[in-house]
Structure 1
Amino acid sequence: MAEFYTLQNARDWQLDPIAATDIETRLASYGFDQHTVSMEVYVQAREAFSIFEALLNSTQLRRLLLLKELNNFRRDRSERIFPRQPAQEGLSPTEISLTARR
């Protein structure tokens, strides 16, 4: 029940200027200002922020691993289609290509 009233007060604070003034007056009488309320919200949500950050980091890691795997797949595929010729010592790239045509 308390959660319901808290949510209702938060919505009133956001949408109704008269209610916002009343709520801010009540908070000020207890020694709370906007900064204190914001910091308390952050402290209470810190665990959720940590979980969200961990999820973002793991997603980024999976994305990088997938890109690396795709790059390896493309490189392997291109090497099967166009196999590399072993380098012949003392020949220039032009001479190697001419030798490969014979």
Structure 2
Amino acid sequence: MSASTASQHLAPSTDIDVQSRCLVWRRTTANYTGLTAGYSWAWNVYLGAGDSGDRVREVQCLLDWWGYYGDPLDGRYGPVTSTAVENFQWDHCGGSVVEYGIVDPATWRCLRDGGEV
């Protein structure tokens, strides 16, 4: 692993009984440091209902790590993912999001940094 992707595994900061089903670590690059599950390093894209793929799986893993998602990590942005995103946004992102239930750049920062941005 190169210095640009140096990582450190972190335990979930939520309830001690919550165990993530994804390996989540802190990734550091020249431009950004934040949590990742390794599916996508996106931070400046919008995701919402009907989207699918690795970016959605990244969101699901990060939500799972924070204790907000318990359904299958299937990479599909459906109602359960939308509700989990909204609940995380209410608890961690303050008024910085564009629309609750949609992953916007502010939500990516909250998911990757774990708190208010």
Higher relative contact order (CA 8 A, sep 6+): 2
TM-score norm. by structure 2 comes to 0.25
Instruction: Write 1 or 2 for the structure with the bigger share of strand.
Output: 2
TM-score norm. by structure 1 comes to 0.27
Instruction: Write 1 or 2 for the structure with the bigger share of helix.
Output: 1
